[in-house]
Amino acid sequence: MASEARFRALCRLPDAEVPLDEAMLVVSAVARPGVDEAAALAVLDDLADRCPAPTLDALVRHLFGDEGFRGNRAAYYDPDNSYLDVVLARRLGIPISLAVVALSVGRRLGVPLSGVAMPGHFLLRDRVLTDVFVDPFRGVVLDAGGCARVFRELHGPGARFDERYLEPVGPRVILRRVLANLSGIHRAAGDRRALARVLRLRALVPGATPEERRELAGALAASGQFEAAAAELEALAADGSGERAAADRAAAARHRARLN
């Protein structure tokens, strides 16, 4: 619970001030207590210290060339691809976790980067030269046309690309997407406890919807955590009104009845 409280506190900072690397390491610690967060942060410090120049080109060559960070094509849906400490240790990840590495090292160097939540494939964008993007999974620099090609490779040649897909996003959006990836993996694997753990973190990020909180309650109940499921629904009902709130209270009562 201490890790969850810390995650909540980090996510409630102004979005631009959320320390993405620290928040990602809390996600790791919730899944696997005992994660050495200080050691992982020291790895990021060291990666920044060894980068030959504080420029985007140097950062890309350093991380995706010299340091060997690359996309995990062989096991794309391995949950370890989303845990920052493991990504740093294995030099393997998926687009969004590799982007977090680059954002974290870039921040230490003063390289102005933002995340880009393009559907299906996370990218990076230069905040100054705004037509310069990075595909962290392939370790290459792109322009907007290159991003559109990546999009159509994923979604089909007839897929409609919208330049709004390339708008920069902040740390909270990145964290929500990481947690969405993990929830999809755990849902597909039928791992109810892991799913509940991830959905609880997602509900702590400001902007969680009532539907997401109900999904959390369902996952908690499915994993046998009836008291926690009831508490979530009762809190949701207190925030709402009308028939939906009454239904949430009734569902909470059913969960509490299973405790007797």
- Express each pLDDT in 180-231 by its tens digit: 999 999 999 999 999 999 999 999 999 999 999 999 999 999 989 999 999 9
CA distance 125 to 151: 15
pLDDT of amino acid 242:
77
**Distance (Å, whole) CA 25 – CA 18:** 13
Report the SS3 class of residue 142.
strand
Q: What is the pTM (predicted TM-score) of this model?
A: 0.93
Q: Which residue has the higher pLDDT, 251 or 18?
A: 18
Q: Are 237 and 256 in contact (CB under 8 A)?
A: no
Q: How does residue 241 score in pLDDT terms, banded at 50, 70 and 90?
A: confident
CA gap 134, 143 in Å, rounded: 8
Dmax (CA) of the chain: 63
169 beta partners: 115
What is the per-residue pLDDT across 96-151, written as a single tens digit (0 to 9) for each?
Answer: 999 999 999 999 999 999 999 999 999 999 999 999 999 999 999 999 999 999 99
Question: Between the ranges 61-70, 189-198, 230-239, 242-251, where is the mean pLDDT highest?
Answer: 61-70
In this predicted structure, the answer to whether residue 260 has a pLDDT above a threshold of 70 is no
